Amino acid sequence: MRFLWGALAAFSALSLTAAAPGAAHPAGNFSYNRHQFLLDGEPYQIIGGQMDPQRIPPEFWSHRLKMARAMGLNTIFSYLYWNLHEPRSGTWDFSGRNDVASFFRLAQAEGLKVVLRPGPYICGERDWGGFPAWLSQVPGMAVRQDNSPFLNAAGAYLDKLGKELGGLQVTHGGPILMTQLENEYGSFGTDKTYLSKLAAALRRNFDVPLYTNDGGGKSYLEGGQLHGVLAVIDGDSQSGFAARDKYVTDPTSLGPQLNGEYYITWIDQWGSDYGHQQISGSTDAISKAVADLDWTLAGNYSFSIYMFHGGTNFGFENGGMRDDGPLAAVTTSYDYGAPLDESGRPTDLYHALREMISKYVPAGSIPEIPAMPALAAVPEFALTPAAALFDVDGARTAARVEADPVSMDALGQSYGYVLYEHTVAADVAGKLAIGDGARDRAIVYVNGARVGVVDTIYTTPATVSITLKKGDTLQILVENLGRVDVRQRLKEQVKGIVGNVSVGCSLLTSWASRSIPLATLPSKLGAGHKVKQNDSPVFYTGSFDLPKGAAAGDPSSDTFISVPGGVKGVLWVNGVNLGRYWTIGPQQSLYVPGSMLKASKNEVVLLELEPQPDVKLTAEGIAERKWFNNADPDAPK
């Protein structure tokens, strides 16, 4: 899925060119023995951190990498997102945020090495763990196993990466030291044939060492390890390192200890009872993290902090988490309590880690921390109702009419919303049953008026009972809140309505299914709209100027936009989809990178899913972020 970063392409190209290395680097070698990594034959201790370029505005890549060096890191670990690189089968995108080769060149220019984590499955709290949604529609597909359709698709992806990135390996003078095979596969399966075939696909494209990354437990390590591939752990270093040496008995998978994901904290998810995850401000929590990583370096072990800088799940890119209970929808912010926060500002944890790391590197080798301006505060500005979503030309596709609703994926759509419409043929009444359960959040309308919300973030979603007369119109707007990153059964990843719809004992047939992907904004939003009680979703528009002292296009105009009167929806600024907002929190503001802002007339479009006639919506840009929760107005009673 692509968002409108193209308007910033000229600025981005200039900044990337200016920071690119000026001369070719000599070919090198990266290897390891039982206890040490070796770069050109010399010991190399990985002091790493995770930072994914596709979660960061390209204009700020260079700054974020400078901040990594200034904390003392020498290596960047990066996931790559298959679903963004191949949004449709055979259609490739390596531009803008997907121009990962430029990111790695910038890393090298800053004196950083790179560990590549290409997947094809990455988890990472991304939609379906980074898999493109179109996989679910491929006949015979079964992911993460010895399955020809999957290996063919994954192989084509890795071959494409090889063409884009092969020349950036250390063996070709580039920064890439290692490539990860799969991701925490031992948490999923034990299919060594699959791992062997995937390893072969990586090796035909990359000649640097491969490694596997698994949790520090017996089943994880035994399931994910592969002969001839270095086994590393994630989670707690001390117990994980001991487990690796106990349960990985194949000498070809043994080598230096690396914690591939040392977790600073955990993920934020939407929920009125789910607080923001962070350790900043907690002396005890910071001391523990510093002590853990100090122990790792003192033992001559290596680590990567997950996340060093989390960034943002722009647009509809977030994933979900689920075991057998409700959906845990991940927030737009992927701040992750990281040392470098979502806006690229250092935290108290950053400074504490920098001080600790300085003990283990040559004096004076850590650069000074780049100066960073304060965030901009944008005064409150009005948002005016412009048009109802269902009435806007270009917001939805033509209807596909069939007996039962058509799933989002079968419509050829990956993200956003689907509107289902049915004209009632006979009087019916009773409980509304939506397929095999809403996927993931359904707003129900009768004759254009909202009558209920069915939301699978709850163990028991709300029950919607309705009475319909012949000729009434029943509409169901279904939102994809994020495919689950760790569940791999294809049927469970399909969004929209899967199955049929009934009211009471009556099956409703003949449905018009309309895609509303909102990959781009409609060209015309209308001249005005009067919000009604229980109205359908409404686009609001507004604009703001930058305050004095904030320069357009740079971090001095970074801000966090808050919409305090909004219930749930999506926010665009200058045509870029910044992501979802939701009153339940804990996220109550959206990061607006200054790179996308102008000095004046920054255009704001808000899609409010549950507009209120008695609420005049406003927005403001805040310079000090706040995290809190509100009660859910749509919670099951």
Per-residue pLDDT tens digits for 158-195? 999 999 999 999 999 999 999 999 999 999 999 999 99
- The 3-state secondary structure of 62-112 reads HHHHHHHHHHCCCEEEEECCHHHHCCECCECCCCHHHCHHHHHHHHHHCCC
Quick one: 400-516 is in which CATH superfamily?
Answer: Galactose-binding domain-like (2.60.120.260)
Q: Is CATH 3.20.20.80 the right assignment for the domain spanning 31-359?
A: yes
Instruction: Report percent pLDDT > 70 for the chain.
Output: 96
pLDDT tier for residue 322 given thresholds of 50, 70 and 90: confident
CA distances from 475 to 213, 438, 489, 495 (A): 46, 14, 29, 17
> CB under 8 Å to 188, separation ≥6 — which residues?
144, 223, 486, 488
Q: Is 67 a residue whose pLDDT tops 60?
A: yes
The whole-angstrom separation of Cα 333 and Cα 110 is 26
| pLDDT, averaged across the chain | 95
Per-residue pLDDT, averaged over 15-33, amounts to 68
Residues linked to residue 62 through DSSP beta bridges, in sequence order? none
pLDDT one-digit tens code per residue, 248-298: 999 999 999 999 999 999 999 999 999 999 999 999 999 999 999 999 999
The whole-angstrom separation of Cα 480 and Cα 257 is 40
Is 261 a residue of the active site?
Answer: yes
Give all strands of the β-sheet with 400-402 in edge-to-edge order.
400-402, 511-516, 417-423, 473-479, 441-446, 449-455
Q: Give the three-state DSSP class for 589.
A: coil
The whole-angstrom separation of Cα 228 and Cα 230 is 7
Of 184, 421, 479, 610, catalytic: 184
Q: Is 6 a residue whose pLDDT tops 50?
A: no
Give yes or no for a cis peptide into 586 (omega within 30° of 0). Answer: yes
The whole-angstrom separation of Cα 193 and Cα 223 is 12
Q: Which of 306, 283, 275 is nearest to 293 (CA)?
A: 306
pLDDT tier for residue 11 given thresholds of 50, 70 and 90: very low
Q: Is 15 a residue whose pLDDT tops 90?
A: no
The whole-angstrom separation of Cα 440 and Cα 74 is 41
pLDDT tier for residue 23 given thresholds of 50, 70 and 90: low
Which one is the CATH code of 378-388+521-622: 2.60.120.260, 3.90.1150.10, 3.50.50.60, 3.30.360.10? 2.60.120.260
Residue 3, token pair as written in the block: 């968002």
Per-residue pLDDT, averaged over 378-402, amounts to 94
CA angle 223, 263, 595 (to 5 degrees): 120
Q: How many CB atoms lie within 10 A of CB 417?
A: 27
pLDDT one-digit tens code per residue, 480-538: 999 999 867 788 899 999 999 999 999 999 999 999 999 999 988 988 999 999 999 99
Q: At what angle do helices 100-109 and 61-71 cross, to 10 degrees?
A: 40
Same topology between domain 378-388+521-622 and domain 400-516: yes
Which residue type occupies 377?
A
Is 624 a residue of the active site?
Answer: no
At 437 the pLDDT is 84
Per-residue pLDDT, averaged over 109-128, amounts to 97
Of 59, 110, 182, 261, catalytic: 261
Domain map (residue ranges) of the chain: 31-359, 378-388+521-622, 400-516
Place of tokens 């412009």: 386
Q: Give the three-state DSSP class for 379.
A: strand
The whole-angstrom separation of Cα 313 and Cα 55 is 6
